[in-house]
Amino acid sequence: MTATTVSNSGSANEPLSIDAVSKGAFDFDMRAALTSGLILALSLVFIALCGIPEGLNERLLIKPVLSLGYLSLLWLPLLFGWLSGNETVLEGMVATKKGARDIVRGLFVGLIGGLGLSLLTVLMDAFDLRDPLVNWSPATEEVLQFSRSIGFGVIAWPVLGAILGAFGAALHVMPEKIRKAVMAGLGTVLSFAIFATFIVDVADFLDDLLYARRGGLKWGWAIALFVIGAGASFLGGGRKISEMKSSYQAATGPAKRQQTTTLILLSLAALIIIPLITGKITQELFANIGIFLLLALGLNIVVGLAGILDLGYVAFFAVGGYTTAVLTSPNRGPDFEGFPTLPWWGALLVTIIIAGLVGLFIGAPVIRMRGDYLAIVTLGFGEIIRLLFLSDWLNGWFNGAQGITNVPPADFGFFSVKGTDPRSVFYLVLFFAAISIYVSWRLERSRLGRAWMAIREDESVAEAMGINTVNMKLMAFVVGAVLASFSGAIFAAKVGSIFPTSFLILVSVIILVVVIVGGMGNIMGIIVGSVVLIGVLGGPKQPGLLAEFSEYKLLIYGALLVVMMLKRPEGLVPNARRSRELHQDEFLQDAWLKGEVDTDDDMVDPSTGGEGTVAPA
């Protein structure tokens, strides 16, 4: 699909089944365009029938022209238009120049997509299918008709689709500089519109200035922001950043180390300062991101490095949370009678030990299994641990469904960490995240890390090298458990009460998605993954910046996973290794084009010349 991939579908000399003979604006694969158009139409209808446009219509982005509900539909034709422009038929090996025909194709794709919604508008008016389809409702109908009339809706959707599709495709045709400016402008407007709560939280004087009273950017400001964003990009704002980036990448040796240190110190300073000047919403957001980052870092060691697909990772989060809660709260189960309550940091030490032991205990039987079996068994253990905390049997310790309330703040004398002060939580999380990142980073480069990678690659060969695979895998499990328990301990102090329902399987799933989407085995990717997924979409129960989407969170996670697996299996921030191995065909092809790899190697080994070609009998 990408322009660099050589496909054999369109070599210039071969007669093609499509009408590629005529040159001009309509010289594109009509069938393929029709297919993308239909996929677009189906996607749009699906989103509409999920009730997303209607549910999010209240949230105005730009007053009065655009709501989040409409955006949930309109971004798709734009994307499809852009993607259709990517499907260039290669002639020989040189990609053809983008031009009018790409725009026409984008327009065509968008038009078909829009027609899908027109059809839905008409059908909604004519039939009542509300029984199986709950969102076949007057409210959805109203959105589809733009609150005007059927006729308006039926015409407006294809027109909008076509315009956006053509625009998406046109992005390929514009000169690079203009394209970047347009994207920057759009990005600025949308960021200000979508992340309004966050922006107001950081700088509340902007509230009255930029935003209308019931939410949404004032449209005058929307235009102004577009101009500002585009102008900044046009005048070279983005170029400075990319220059700095490439100079950083080019640096080596001590210079690079120095730059890395500076970069880390700067980010750390920024992370310490930002919460000081922002409001509670941002601080809470940061704290939640941190808590899930800690979990993701731990799971990354287990899944990303050692290759153990643990689907019950929430178990260790639960153990961390519960252990800290019962050791610090006066409201724990009656069977703890006589145990002194500990301060948070004292409890933390015990928590680490208990989590490590539970890691050993669960790990020992599980670790001998491989692949799918292991995944299923860990899934089971994740549930068993939660059910134990919920059970009548241990009710005397853990209070069953009532949970453990009144978990006191973590008191460090000079400052105390409690849920009502999300900033303090964030600082505590930051401290532990820094430790975990450092530990992960060191482990990855250690002998232990190498043993884990060998096991991930080929367990029996690793064993043959003398690696004690059972012990090493157990070790990964224990390290993962301990990192998760940090997170649980902080979580307990933050929320002040711990219930079995805080530790549903969903938590395991979300952490795993963070790890996969970010890029397995890659610390930077895990950080970006946490910020994007937890920060924007939110955690299992914690709202993100797009709190409106929380109802559709799983849908979005699912879609994201599918798209990532298909298009970018190496994660958002790939490391060179993963991306090379996952795109090996393309990599080899590129190398072959550049003449780096001779693929006939196996037949005649150049190092021995032509000698020794006699095949043994």
Partner 1 sequence: MSDTNTDTRTPLLEFRNINTHYGAVHILKDVNLAIYPGEMVSLLGGNASGKSTTLKTLLGMVTPTSGEVVLDGEVVNDKPTSYRVERGVTMVPENRRLFKRLSVKENLELGAYLRNDKAEIANDLERIYTMFPRVKERLNQKSGTLSGGEQQMVAMGRALMAKPRVLLMDEPSMGLAPALVQTNFELIQQIHEEGIAIFMVEQNANMALSLADRGWVLQTGRVVLDDTAENLLANPELQKSYLGGA
Residues that bind partner 1 (CB under 8 A): 447, 450-451, 453-454, 457-458, 460-468, 577-578, 580-581, 584, 587-588, 591, 597-599, 601-605, 607-608, 612-617
CB of 125 vs partner 1, minimal distance in Å: 56
Query: Among 132, 232, 151, which Cα is nearest to 185's?
Result: 232
146 — alpha (psi -120 to 50), left (phi > 0) or beta? left
Looking at the Cβ atoms of 270 and 603, the one nearer to partner 1 is: 603
Of 260 and 613, nearer to partner 1 (C-beta) is 613
Q: Which is nearer to partner 1, 240 or 445 (CB)?
A: 445
Q: State the minimum distance, in angstroms, from the CB of residue 611 to partner 1.
A: 9
Give SS3 for 218. strand
CB of 395 to partner 1, least distance (A): 44
Minimum distance between the CB of residue 378 and partner 1, rounded to whole angstroms? 23
CA distance 551 to 292: 19
Q: How many other β-carbons are positioned within 10 Å of the β-carbon of residue 455?
A: 24
CB closer to partner 1, 421 vs 459 = 459
Q: How far apart are CA 334 and CA 320, in angstroms?
A: 20
For 25, half-sphere exposure in the C-beta direction (CA atoms, 13 angstrom radius) is 7
**Residue 554 structure tokens:** 């799983």
Q: How far apart are CA 447 and CA 330, in angstroms?
A: 44
> Within a 10 A sphere around the Cβ of 185, how many other Cβ atoms?
21
CB of 8 to partner 1, least distance (A): 22
Token pair listed for 310: 């643990």
Q: Which is nearer to partner 1, 360 or 597 (CB)?
A: 597
Q: Closer to partner 1 by CB, 94 or 615: give it.
A: 615
| Helix intervals (H) in 127-205 | 138-144, 150-173, 176-194, 196-202
Q: How far is the CB of 468 from partner 1 (least distance, A)?
A: 6
Shortest Cβ distance from residue 381 to partner 1 (Å)? 27
d(CA 169, CA 256): 39
DSSP 410: E
Sign of CA dihedral 76, 78, 84, 86: negative
C-alpha–C-alpha distance, residues 182 and 168, integer Å: 11
Nearer to partner 1, 335 or 605 (CB): 605
User: Based on CB atoms, which residue is closest to partner 1, 18 or 453?
Assistant: 453
- Residue 452: CB minimum distance to partner 1, A: 11
State in angstroms the smallest separation of the CB of 462 from partner 1: 8
> Nearer Cβ to partner 1, position 335 or 458?
458
Query: Does residue 64 have a cis peptide bond before it, meaning omega lies within 30 degrees of 0?
Result: yes
Choose between 14 and 601: whose C-beta lies nearer to partner 1.
601
Element (H, E) at 94: strand 94-95
Omega prior to 138 cis, within 30 of 0: no
The closest alpha carbon to 135, from 75, 72, 193, belongs to: 72
Closest CB 145 distance from partner 1, rounded Å:
53
Phi, psi of 449 (to 5 degrees): -60, -40
